[in-house]
Structure 1
Amino acid sequence: MESMIIKNIMSEDPVCIDKDQNICDALRLMDKRNVSRLLVINTNSDHERELVGIVTEKDIALKLGSSRYGNMAPSHFHVSTVMTPELITAEPDMDAGNAASVMLENNIGSLPVLHDGEIMGIVTKSDLLDICRGRAYEKYTAADVMSTEMITVSPAERVVHARRIMIDAGIGRLLVMEEDELAGILTARDMTRAVINFRKLVPDRHKPSRIRNLLVEDIMKQNVRTIEEETPVTEVASLMLETGYGGFPVIKQEVEGIVTKTDILDLIVEIEGVF
């Protein structure tokens, strides 16, 4: 099977932000452009668009929830404070299987695409998902790729605890379970939006204690979209692209597992091959 190169699937107009802007600017730009990550550039450099890092919604959520920065207003955070400066990049002719493998090995969701130091684009897990609509993937179902070892929280647990679980496990979403029933789902995006809105509403003197006591049930999403074990991977990939969701719980009589973009990338590596 001929391998697909990332030049053919990457986003050629990556959304960029200057390192000296604040994270509220970053979040507004993410909302406006419907993306979850931004390339960070230094516009004061002699180079027209010097790439200096990448910032994601998860980066912002985990930083905002930390004790070190918990009392600071989001408008006081420069993007450079929360960005990841150690970048792993790709060339336009890298094949899709290798790109998926690099993302999995480094637990990252995207690769900036550079050629001779110039920004050509960005390839994300979502871009790679589009490959899964092909015929080679039609025989696989959610049961073939789902993770059965699920990391969960209860609705009554504190958000600061959920944040620590996300950091330790290197994940961006948690299933919320109550008495073995699916009660909701909590994502890094939910956490970011909740903490920022919370800080706008709560007086400064009450913020530290109130944020520490914020519960998962206060900010989780309810009425979670689920899939069945028999759902084809091609359909799962399409659902992720259509909804923007990064994962779906798999339900039979009870929760059997979860399928995330990372699980599908494992399948892409298997099918596309790594050279």
Structure 2
Amino acid sequence: MKIKYLMNQNVTCIDKDQNICDALRIMKKNNISRLVVINTNNEHIKEVVGIITEKDIAEKLGSSRYGNLAPSHFHVSTVMSSNLITADVNMDVSTAADIMLENHIGSLPVIEDDKLVGILTKTDILEICKGKPYEKPLVEDVMSSELITIEPTERMIHARRLMIDANIGRLPVMEDGELVGIITSKDIARSMIAFRKIVPDKYKSARIRNLLVEDLMTQNVKTVKTTDTISKTASKMIETGYGGFPVLDDNGTVVGIITKSDILDLIVEMEGG
């Protein structure tokens, strides 16, 4: 299948000179996690210059190095990724998925005749999983059992560092062997914006260092079972907008995590041949 049949033609963009508060506001309004960044040149032509994600914002705002700066001081251009990888409109879906996995990215701006005509995300690709072949593989066949977790009393900056080092977007929060929450890059990004707006400048850096995971995490975590089908799990990701779920066995014990990337691996395997 060609990506032109799955891509979203309505691309939400932001100017590189806007600030990250604007970026998060637009993401929240449109229920998306990334924006294509544009620059209007002297001929009033809009050029695609990068992409900005909630993960990018979380990494920058959670850094103690920038602890005293207000969010309004962060322009999109200072946070965005400028090493833009694009896809041709006639690229195969399995090739696009492989590119995303190899480069650890969640989307590809789609180009036709040197013009931006759409954007393809991991969520768009998951639509393939609604087909009959994906009713056979189970979560336990695809999930990652190498689980990176964090405790609720650990610091937010430690959670942020774990995500950056492992290049992941979420951490299950465990206490005494029980799942009590989940913290994502989206939680960190949105909380940092709110936090920086209300805390006086001279206290920002110290307060950020003392923020705990339990202050930001989401409770009542949505999970999946090892025996759920990939078709069902992919549909659940599309419906909720979540990028991953902790996986429980029949005893209710957390035994792994499944993400969009895990499912994309399966799609590459099944569609690539």
Please name the residue that 2:24 is paired with. 27
User: Any idea what SS the aligned residue of 1:265 has?
Assistant: helix
Q: Could you state the TM-score of these two structures normalised by the residue count of structure 2?
A: 0.97
Provide Cα deviations, 1:38-64, integer angstroms capped at 9, x if missing partner: 000002343622000000000001001
Counterpart Cα distance in 2 of 1:46 and 1:150: 51
Which residue, 88, 93, 107 being the options, matches 1:96? 93
User: How many percent of aligned residue pairs carry the same amino acid?
Assistant: 63
Counterpart Cα distance in 2 of 1:165 and 1:85: 24
Counterpart Cα distance in 2 of 1:119 and 1:242: 27
Structure 2 counterpart of 1:85, which letter? S
Please name the residue that 1:272 is paired with. 271
Provide Cα deviations, 1:84-108, integer angstroms capped at 9, x if missing partner: 0011110011001001100000000
Question: Given the alignment of the two structures, is residue 43 of structure 1 paired with residue 28 of structure 2, yes or no?
Answer: no
Q: Please, which moves more after superposition, 50-59 or 66-75? A: 66-75
Report the RMSD for the aligned CA atoms in angstroms.
1.0
Please name the residue that 2:103 is paired with. 106
Q: Which runs of 4+ in 1 moved over 6 A?
A: none
State the number of aligned residues.
271
Matched ranges for 1:252-267 at <5 A: 252=249, 253=251, 254-267=253-266
Contact kept in structure 1, 2:69 and 2:201, CA below 8 Å = no
Offset, 1:207: 1.3
Counterpart Cα distance in 2 of 1:67 and 1:204: 13
Matched ranges for 1:152-163 at <5 A: 152-163=149-160
Please name the residue that 1:18 is paired with. 15
Offset, 1:136: 1.4
Contact kept in structure 1, 2:246 and 2:258, CA below 8 Å = yes
Please name the residue that 2:116 is paired with. 119
Offset, 1:67: 2.4
Structure 2 counterpart of 1:237, which letter? A
User: Any idea what SS the aligned residue of 2:224 has?
Assistant: coil
Matched ranges for 1:54-73 at <5 A: 54-73=51-70
Structure 2 counterpart of 1:260, which letter? T
Counterpart Cα distance in 2 of 1:31 and 1:46: 31
Q: Could you state the TM-score of these two structures normalised by the residue count of structure 1?
A: 0.96
Offset, 1:179: 1.4
Counterpart Cα distance in 2 of 1:35 and 1:76: 23
Offset, 1:68: 2.4
Contact kept in structure 1, 2:10 and 2:118, CA below 8 Å = yes
Q: Please, which moves more after superposition, 97-106 or 61-70? A: 61-70
Offset, 1:197: 1.1
Structure 2 counterpart of 1:246, which letter? G
Q: Kindly tell me: are residues 266 and 47 of structure 1, through their superposed partners in 2, closer, same or farther at Cα, counting changes over 3 Å?
A: farther
Please name the residue that 2:168 is paired with. 171
Question: Given the alignment of the two structures, is residue 87 of structure 1 paired with residue 84 of structure 2, yes or no?
Answer: yes
Counterpart Cα distance in 2 of 1:37 and 1:204: 28
Please name the residue that 1:194 is paired with. 191
Q: Kindly tell me: are residues 150 and 45 of structure 1, through their superposed partners in 2, closer, same or farther at Cα, counting changes over 3 Å?
A: farther
Contact kept in structure 1, 2:68 and 2:202, CA below 8 Å = no
Please name the residue that 1:150 is paired with. 147
Counterpart Cα distance in 2 of 1:126 and 1:70: 33
